[in-house]
Chains A and B, each alone.
Chain A
Amino acid sequence: MDAEAIRRALRRIAHEIIEQNADLKSVVLAGIPLRGVEISRRLSEFIREVAKIEIETGTIDVAMHRDDVGTRAELPMVHASKLPLPLENRTVIIVDDVLFTGRTARAAMDAISDFGRPARIQLAALVDRGHRELPIRADYVGKNLPTATKEQIQVRLQQVDQEPDGVWLFKE
């Protein structure tokens, strides 16, 4: 996917979010660092353009909620989570760049419930590459990319990676 394809995909997700949430003001976009946060920001811009509504965004870090503790030889940075509170009666949409096993999404749901009890939790991903290991599906998908397990998907976003927008598929 190039920059234009990413733009179109996110724009479409924004439209779907608007269609499926009658009460847009109750929606919170919760990005998973790092790229999910940037995608949330872009989605909120599209939603502002189309629906003229400023929706709230936040950050939900999943590192503390992962289920593979003690199995990795090195640990990446944990980022602070920040959500507009309270979450009661709100719809929280988890936003990530790639949906793969579903374990990150599960961890994000656990993390969100530590902040309160939203009315609904939904999931948005720029790319769904399949291979789920948990009973999880996305409510909004930018592009379905069937992959082999060995292949790698890499998302690049200008604001995060200082590289042009793009989604890359690496065989091997």
Chain B
Amino acid sequence: MNWKRKDLLGLRELSAEEINFILETADAFKQVGTREIKKVPALRGKTLINFFVEPSTRTRTSFELAAQRLSADIVNISASTSSLTKGETLKDTARNLEALHADILVLRHPSAGAPQFLAQRLKSSVINAGDGAHEHPTQGLLDIYTIREKRGKIAGLNVAIVGDILFSRVARSNIFGLTKLGAKVTLVGPSTLVPREFEKLGVSVSHKIDDVLRKTDVVNLLRIQHERQRKEYFPGIGEYTTLFGLTKERAKLLKPDCLVMHPGPINRGVEIDSEVADGMQSVILDQVTNGLAVRMAVLYLCGGIST
């Protein structure tokens, strides 16, 4: 197949073939990081706008570095520096960015669907860098890339995603991507945050972490987002750690070759103990490295076609 999409809005609308195409393209871009000159002219002359209406350091920096390695020109705009604070609508802001001949718009937005809204109205490529509780496709892709790199395949693996699934866009992108590639996904967490409704997406739901940990090939721990938690959903930090945290003791249940993942930033001692986060089974820093390759691939593919 060849790549034909100008936008990356989520993994839900991608085929397994398209997901694999991105992963294989990322292999080629990962290699670029090992060259003496780590920069290629693939997007020379293109302008990329990193438009982050929600705070983010890691994802924004990763996109910025990816764009630089592809020789694109980059402008960063955050919520506080944009005219959104002056009452400009999202569409007007975006149209102004397009009038500046921006070719690629990387958007992080608190509202689900904001990237899709813009993708339908702009000629520029739109890359979703996280929209509300909807999707975070490049995070999903880099998680899948890391599993594939370490285990050589996705199909047939048991993958546990633990934490606040209900409000997590990372979880959704992982669920869509992993199930398409044939992994068996189990969601784990308190019933308020992991309702049985999710089974409709073709995954299992469990509220007993110890049973799941013994069998799983990958455990992906989501960050507990204190800043977003509401009392009625969340049991309290201490209780959460006791019931669902990947503590040193609980990590002993894991199979020796089980991968421990976390999208970061880590709350040490809350969803994961330091010893486990820094332990032999942790691939958390590989995720960061791979994120750069995956984002280079996505920017190259979506930004490199004529629109």
| Chain A residues near B (Cβ < 8 Å) | 61, 63-66, 69-82, 110-111, 113-116
Give complex CA distance A81, B31 in Å.
7
Stretch touching chain A among B33-41, B56-64, B89-97, B126-134: B33-41
Question: How far is A55 from B35 in the complex, measured between Cα atoms in Å?
Answer: 22
CB of B286 within 8 Å of the partner chain: no
What's the minimum C-beta distance from A91 to chain B, rounded to whole angstroms? 18
Q: How many residues of B contact A (CB 8 A)?
A: 32
Complex alpha-carbon distance, A71 and B44, angstroms: 13
The docked-state distance in angstroms from the alpha carbon of A78 to that of B43 is: 14
Q: Find chain B residues with CB under 8 A from A63 CB.
A: 28, 42
Contacts of B42 in A (CB 8 A): 63-66, 69
Given the known A-B contacts A61-B28, A80-B31, are A73 and B4 also in contact in the complex, defined by CB atoms under 8 Å? yes
Pick the 6 closest A-B CB pairs, nearest first: A74-B2, A64-B40, A114-B37, A78-B28, A80-B31, A64-B42
> Are A77 and B21 also in contact (CB < 8 A) when A61-B28, A65-B42 are?
yes
Closest to B44 in A: A69
Report the bound CA distance from A100 to B88 in whole Å: 52
**Known: A69-B43, A70-B306, A80-B27. Contact between A75 and B301, CB under 8 A?**
yes
CB pair A76 B304 closer than 8 Å: no
Chain A residue, CB-CB nearest to B27: A80
Q: Is A73 in contact with B305, judged by CB distance below 8 angstroms?
A: yes
Docked complex Cα distance between A77 and B24 (Å): 8
Residues in B whose Cβ lies below 8 Å from that of A115 = 35-37
Q: A64-B40, A69-B304, A70-B304 are in contact. List 13 more A-B contacts (CB 8 A).
A: A66-B42, A69-B43, A69-B44, A72-B305, A73-B306, A74-B3, A76-B2, A77-B24, A78-B29, A81-B35, A113-B37, A114-B37, A115-B35
A134 CA to B231 CA, complexed, in Å: 68
With known contacts A69-B42, A110-B41, A80–B4 Cβ distance under 8 A = no
Which of the residues B28, B36, B303, B306 comes within 8 Å of A80, measured between beta carbons? Answer: B28
Q: How far is the CA of A72 from the CA of B28 in the complex (A)?
A: 20
Which chain B residues lie closer than 8 Å to A77 at the CB level?
Answer: 2, 21, 24-25
Give min CB distance, A115 to chain B, whole Å.
5
